[in-house]
Amino acid sequence: MFRPLMLAGALSAASATAAFAADMIEKVSPHPVSVTIDRLAEAVTGAGATVFARVDHGAGAASVEMELGASELLIFGNPKLGTPAMQDAASAGLDLPLRVLAYADNEGVVRVLYHDPASLAATHGVPTDANYIQMMTGALDKLTSKAVAED
């Protein structure tokens, strides 16, 4: 009886991990983490959106005498896109504004990661064909592509 429960728990955890990974989009950056986030912030403001916050997870870890590789999160958005999503489902505010994480993995590869905006539809019940979902998807792709472009 104990083994089936353990197996069910393991399968549930594996399913959760697969589901978690399925709604993530990842790109590789040739730039260091801080430069990648600088470039992303510049692309965001250049597109007329607002940067709300920049979180340096590595600095946070260092402040409590713990080690963490380079890892920064940029939180940004455009109320013209986010507000309609929250009008359709107030709970979408939990996942808005948009967030992009850049971090260096164990091999030193800088990865840029964000949730596919289509996950808003699945998570919050907003219409899958909503114009703002397509616009967020296009904007995130364009902005992160600028951040990771080799110049």
Residue 52 lies in a domain: yes
Enter the DSSP assignment of 49: -
Inside any domain, residue 3 = no
Domain contains 73: yes
Kindly give the confidence (pLDDT) of every residue in the chain, 151 residues in length, as a single tens digit, with 9 standing for 90 and above: 444 444 444 444 444 444 445 689 999 999 999 999 999 999 999 999 999 999 999 999 999 999 999 999 999 999 999 999 999 999 999 999 999 999 999 999 999 999 999 998 889 999 989 999 999 999 999 999 999 999 8
Domain for residue 4, yes or no? no
The verdict on residue 62 lying in a domain is: yes
CATH number, domain of 119, equals 3.30.310.70
How long a stretch of residues is the chain? 151
Residue 94 lies in a domain: yes
2 lies in some domain = no
7 in a structural domain = no
Instruction: Supply the pTM of this predicted model.
Output: 0.84
Query: Does residue 28 contact residue 148 with C-beta atoms inside 8 Å?
Result: yes
- Into how many domains does the chain fold? 1
Domain that holds residue 26: 22-148
- Burial class, 89, CB count within 10 angstroms (exposed 0-12 / middle 13-18 / buried 19+): middle
